[in-house]
Amino acid sequence: MSEVVIEIDRASPVPLYFQLARHFELAIETGTLRPGARLENEVDLAERLGLSRPTVRAAFGYLVSKGLVVRKRGAGTLVTERAIDRDLELTSLYDDLAAAGRGPASVVIRNEVGHASAPVARALMVPERALVICLERVRLAEDEPIALMRNFLPAALVHLSTEMLAEHGLYELLRASGIRMGSATQRISAKNASAAEARILHETRGSALLTMERVAYDDGGRPVEFGQHLYRPSRYALTITMPRSAPAQGPSANS
């Protein structure tokens, strides 16, 4: 159990719960509290600081909402691993986790050839009910589930064994097969977790999940992969860098 030196200023206009939460937040950011460290339990902390239990509970709830700690039955409140902050570019999650030293791994749920649904057919520009490779995998980072990924590829594109998919990233396997990725279109949204999705991703039913739908093209412009991914927002973030636009030339149309 990790104890943080905490000073509460009762004369401050800053709410007590937020003062308490910030002490823990700074301790986590500076490494004083490292991933896996267990926070003092609510009852003991409230008694030690002279705070009410609802105040301490609100502080812990704030930390949970930011993905800094997680409550585990029988283990208490634990500091989480840092969330994956991923630049939005044409790379795979496996590649990004490996580059960050986060021990990527995959659990393959589905690897079979099936018929393309209407959305899959449109994305891959194939006839509806054409044969496609259907993949479903859980991506792990240091044995913790990060994402549930469903991918569809033209059936004649490549052969992918379940063993290969468990040990390597999809784009790594495509590159090894001589397929060069050229561009992609991507749509980011959100949804509430179903019971099955929550169970797989270690979330609660109805919790918010980040969704990403991507169509990737090879360097000849042919669609080679359609992905539908679900990410845990507490463990995953996307960073988008937007270049500054060139200065307008001449008077604006709205002048």
Q: Of 210 and 72, which is predicted with more confidence?
A: 210
43 and 89, same structural domain? no
51 and 95, same structural domain? no
171 and 67, same structural domain? no
pLDDT digits (tens, 9 = 90+) for 205-219: 998 899 999 999 988
Q: Of 171 and 114, which is predicted with more confidence?
A: 114
The percentage of the chain sitting over the pLDDT mark of 70, rounded to a whole number, equals 82
pLDDT number for residue 251? 42
CATH of residue 21's domain is 1.10.10.10
92 and 197, same structural domain? yes
- Contact, 193 vs 203, CB < 8 A? yes
Does the pLDDT at position 227 exceed 90? yes
Q: How far apart are the first and last CA of the chain?
A: 63
pTM assigned to the model: 0.61
Q: Of 29 and 127, which is predicted with more confidence?
A: 127
CATH of residue 91's domain is 3.40.1410.10
Cα–Cα distance, 198 to 207 (Å, whole number): 8
178 and 156, same structural domain? yes
44 and 104, same structural domain? no
By three-state DSSP, how is residue 144 classified?
strand
158 and 216, same structural domain? yes
The DSSP-derived string for 29-45 is: HTTSS-TTPBBPPHHHH
Does the pLDDT at position 100 exceed 70? no
183 and 66, same structural domain? no
Sorting pLDDT into bands at 50, 70 and 90, what band is 184? confident
36 and 155, same structural domain? no
Does the pLDDT at position 42 exceed 50? yes
Does the pLDDT at position 234 exceed 80? no
Query: Which runs of consecutive H residues, i.e. helices, occur in the chain?
Result: 16-29, 42-49, 53-65, 93-99, 118-124, 162-167, 170-176, 195-201
88 and 46, same structural domain? no
Sorting pLDDT into bands at 50, 70 and 90, what band is 95? low
- Contact, 27 vs 65, CB < 8 A? no
pLDDT number for residue 244? 58
Q: Is residue 178 part of a domain?
A: yes
Residue 20's domain comprises: 16-79
The first and second tokens of residue 38, run together, are: 């267990």
Among 26, 54, 79, give the residue marking a domain's end: 79
Does the pLDDT at position 154 exceed 60? yes
72 and 131, same structural domain? no
133 and 67, same structural domain? no
pLDDT digits (tens, 9 = 90+) for 121-153: 999 999 999 999 999 999 888 788 889 999 999
